[in-house]
Structure 1
Amino acid sequence: MDQEKKKTATKYLVLDDLLDHVGRYVSGDQLASDLGVSRESVWKAIKTLQKEGHRIVSKKKTGYAYLSSDHVSEQVVQKYLGKLSQGQQAFDAIRVFDEVGSTQTYAKDYLAKHPGQNPSIFTARTMGAGYGRRGRAFFAPKDRGLYISLSLPVNPEKPMIASLLTTSAAAIIAQVLEETFPGLNVQLKWVNDLIVKGHKVGGIITEAVFDMERQQYNALVLGFFVNILPADYPEEIQQKAMAVLDDPSTTIDLNFLLARLTLALIDMNNGYQDGTFLADYRKRSFLIGQRVSIQVGQEILSGEVTGISNQAGLELLLDNGEKKTLYAGEVTKVKLYENLNL
């Protein structure tokens, strides 16, 4: 092994050892002994990791402690996924990109060629061509949020209910965010927007990969983004978009949050069809009781939202007295929140 490869291998080994003791100090001597390398090699590896954005602190006569990373890292994500699932959750693929056009596009292309039995995760530090519902582009500032496409294997014994899958995922993401950030209140705008303080902080898109030859679905791809830290948003969305956190200097472990979110969503996929998450979704919806305008195809419908159906449809009392339940469409205006046209 040449020197450069040896240095790289040592770096990964040191990080892996530190990740076994997150928040706790490990002495340089112990690391050197564990890995069969010199103290100097450990020190050089630590310096390299710190330069790459891993928050590793040192204390004289005590050692080094890993705290977090300022970016999504494949090695760190895999470690957290293993720890949180106690090694029980298998993945067919975990891909972390420094930059990609769209994790959703990549995921669908990959899964069309590599159908699998287990979930796969595709994420990136930034995206150049990310898109949401109706193909609408969105801003993905580097290392300021999570941009994830999660493939969920199709269970032929259970129905695929797109409306329930999307709303259940929204409820789960909201729950995990509130558990991670005490005091946070996440509301939901039907069908797929995460709202904090009247501004959009995230969104969800659900798509399927269909195998034409076998005439069956290979996988469901749940794409979602969450703005975690503030960023300089483009002028056209400055009044609409916001981040979960107000302070741009807040330290947050994106890898741990990513692992928690994906595992919670995988668990959700095992039983969302029975409407388990509808009660929470309804509680978080600020549309119920509000007057809205909804675009359905080329038509604009106006009326009052009376509820969310058991299949996660939007129940609407139209101005002409007619009752409708919608499973597709986009809320373009809410009486109290006219800035949510995203």
Structure 2
Amino acid sequence: MADAKLKTKDRVLQDLLEHVGSYVSGDQLAQDLDISRESVWKAVKSLQKDGHVITSKKKTGYAYMRSNHIDQRVVTHYLNGLSHGKQAFDKIEIVENTASTQTDAKDYLAKHPAENPTLFSSRTMGAGYGRRGRAFFAPKDHGLYISLSLPIKEKNQVVASLLTTSAAVVIAQVIEQNFPKVSVDLKWVNDLIINRHKVGGIITEAVFDMETQQYTALVIGFFVNILPADYPDEISQKAGSVLTTKEAWVDWNLLLAQFTLALIKMGDDYLDGRYLEDYRKRSLLIGKSVSVQVGQDVIAGEVQGVSDQAGLEIKQDDGSVKTLYAGEVTKVKLLENLNL
């Protein structure tokens, strides 16, 4: 029987989530939860008002289909189900609005030891930031805005460039698994590209303990634009979305759970370079002439490939090959339509 301490609608939701996509009769729900049929009906109406898509059929019952937005109870259910109850979290926090999920994650880690992953996500953000501190547009319920922390096991090596590129591959794979008609390209080092428009980006940061002089956790922050939005003028030519219609069917909570578990797995095995082959296949830059801003300098040349540590290998005009592990590609010749 569901936890009697929960609100009635939460108990009904919990029961329906055990049968996603399948109908459960009102009588069965009432019996399971020891409440009246009328209470079940009122709870379902309240859940529907909250944005949960629950269908009903006369003499058949109710079926939970999805939610119109991320919901902590539903995400937690999917995380538990997909991991068969084996993945523990120190904290899962899904909110309607926050300044920055990345800041929330780091603030939490500053006060709590990192024993298991933490997950922070919000329906929108007011002060989100990316690489080089850039702000980005986070329209409510149009994308996923996520910060996932992964504890660093003692003495484990951290390779930032390899971590970021591996995370990009995993996110691209999850997108394509959920939306088979979509193909995701990657622009070194952290941009997700669909139809020559940026649909997502990644930032990776580390938490350092001054007392132990060790890194204790990684924080992977990323966003993915799922549904199209009215982007601000300064990014309207660059930004895009995974889907092209706002009316598209999206299972937000299942998608969030899949991203999370795939990235946790990636965090355990990325150091052996197993994601590099896929990254290279998805790269928009190999064989292209580029300009890369590195601090105050600009490095120009033809991209020869991506190194085993995920550095960008550039053949310069003098014939020498330089491998970059930081920087921003500011120009790609022959891809003038790639407004990134």
Q: Normalising by structure 1, what TM-score? A: 0.96
Question: Contact between 1:115 and 1:219, CA under 8 Å: does it hold in 2?
Answer: no
In the other structure, the counterpart of 1:207 is 205
AA of the residue aligned to 2:46:
T
Deviation at 1:157, TM superposition (A): 4.0
Alignment counterpart, residue 313 of structure 1, candidates 311, 314, 320: 311
AA of the residue aligned to 2:23:
Y
In the other structure, the counterpart of 1:227 is 225
In the other structure, the counterpart of 2:249 is 251
Runs of 4 or more above 3 Å deviation: 336-342
In the other structure, the counterpart of 1:191 is 189
Residue aligned with 1:67, SS: strand
Please state if 1:333 is matched with 2:328. Answer: no
Question: Contact between 2:295 and 2:327, CA under 8 Å: does it hold in 1?
Answer: yes
Please state if 1:169 is matched with 2:140. Answer: no
CA distance in structure 2 between the partners assigned to 1:320 and 1:264 by the alignment? 42
Q: Counterparts of 1:1-342 in structure 2 under 5 Å?
A: 9-338=7-336
Residue aligned with 1:220, SS: strand
Deviation at 1:319, TM superposition (A): 2.2
In the other structure, the counterpart of 1:3 is none
Cα separation, partners in 2 of 1:271 and 1:29, compared to 1, 3 Å? same
Deviation at 1:89, TM superposition (A): 0.5
Q: Normalising by structure 2, what TM-score? A: 0.97
CA distance in structure 2 between the partners assigned to 1:76 and 1:33 by the alignment? 22
AA of the residue aligned to 2:47:
L
CA distance in structure 1 between the partners assigned to 2:338 and 2:101 by the alignment? 24
CA distance in structure 2 between the partners assigned to 1:74 and 1:10 by the alignment? 17
Cα separation, partners in 2 of 1:114 and 1:139, compared to 1, 3 Å? same
The one-character-per-residue Cα deviations of 1:43-93 (angstroms, maximum 9, x if unpaired) are 111011101100001000000000000111000000000000000100000
Structure 1 gap segments, 5+ residues each: 1-5
The one-character-per-residue Cα deviations of 1:146-180 (angstroms, maximum 9, x if unpaired) are 00000011012421111111000000111111111
CA distance in structure 2 between the partners assigned to 1:185 and 1:167 by the alignment? 17
Cα separation, partners in 2 of 1:296 and 1:176, compared to 1, 3 Å? same
Question: Contact between 1:112 and 1:210, CA under 8 Å: does it hold in 2?
Answer: no
AA of the residue aligned to 1:181:
F
Question: Contact between 1:331 and 1:341, CA under 8 Å: does it hold in 2?
Answer: no
Structure 2 gap segments, 5+ residues each: none
Deviation at 1:286, TM superposition (A): 1.1
- Percent identity over paired residues: 68
Deviates more, 1:207-216 or 1:75-84: 207-216
CA distance in structure 2 between the partners assigned to 1:319 and 1:193 by the alignment? 26
AA of the residue aligned to 2:271:
Q
Cα separation, partners in 2 of 1:188 and 1:240, compared to 1, 3 Å? same
